[in-house]
Amino acid sequence: MMDYSKEFEMIVKAYEKSGGNVSNLLRKDIASIIINGDRVIGLNSVQGVELKPQKIENGVSVDMRIKGSIKNPIHICTGYVGKRGYQKVIFNITVEKNSSVSFISHCSFPWSEDFTHDAEMYVHIEPGGKMEYRDEHFHSESGKINFISKVKAVIEKGGYFADFFRLTKTRVGKMDLFMEISLGEEAVGHLDATVRASKDDNVSIKEILNLDGKGSRGIAKTTAVALDKARVTVINEAYGNAEGTKGHVVCEEITKGEGVIVNASPILEVRNERSELTHEASIGRVNQKQLETLMAKGLSEEEATNLIIKGIVG
């Protein structure tokens, strides 16, 4: 049996940097999986959670099946302790009928200088199933990480799916984030991405709601802060394909820096006369009234601006 103790120690350090609670990776009553590069170095399952990892070229693919109501969130730790490389991670998740589960995922690459993380997640939620996925990223300050992420989910009748993505504590590098959900009858979906880009980071985010079933509802929300010379492009789409559907897309972009380039494109398409789609989008500097209020309390403009940004991205 191979000794992964040194790798585990390094991944644990990276996990802590991203805000993860290491003790949750060690508890026997919590399902968890720990991935370093192309290897699974830690795995624990519980009743109702089936985890089947397999090694693929440059990475790991994991089939997950959820049955019943899982009390504790499943913890996922994905990392890379090297400076250069390529990592491919694929998750295939099935939530069975009337089952429920939540995930807490931390992806951390604090020491990487020239690295590509390529992630795909495919989700199938059967009727009445519920799933929530919280994904926190922590990158290095090199600005040379190439992050590619694709999420596609199919939610059947009465199901619920929510995906919350956060990358706010470090530089981004180059990021291409794609999220698409297809909602069946009376299903509910929520896509939410928050990113803080700085220096010459280059960010592309696309979220798509397909309201396919009668009475389905969804929201696609993006919050982006662009600093220095960062570039941010956001496209949020919603398609009302059935009667009684409701979709809402939101994009808020805050800018600070002479070289910033940002744009937001909401796309709404009604294919059923009884579908209702709405959107709101804003691009601008930090709220002037909030800035003046904080400066009146003794903060410098820079300090006040940073505090407001911190409040936006968390």
- Would you call 291 helix, strand, or coil by DSSP? helix
- CA gap 76, 16 in Å, rounded: 13
Condensed to tens digits (0 to 9), the pLDDT of residues 45-78 reads 999 999 999 999 999 999 999 999 999 999 999 9
User: Rounded to an integer, what distance in angstroms lies between the CA atom of residue 261 and that of residue 203?
Assistant: 10
* Alpha-carbon span 268 to 239, nearest angstrom: 6
User: What pLDDT sits at residue 193?
Assistant: 97
Residue 128's CB: how many other CB atoms inside 10 A?
18
Q: In one letter, which amino acid is 198?
A: S
User: How far is the C-alpha of 132 from the C-alpha of 206, rounded, in Å?
Assistant: 19
User: What kind and span of H or E run contains 8?
Assistant: helix 5-17
Q: What is the pLDDT of residues 16-45, one digit of tens each?
A: 877 778 888 889 999 999 999 999 999 999
* 3 state SS of 26: helix
- By residue count, the chain amounts to 314
CA-based angle 193:282:228, to the nearest 5? 75
Cβ–Cβ < 8 Å for 133, 160: no
Tokens coding 112: 């990487």
Q: What residues of the chain score a pLDDT lower than 50?
A: 1-3
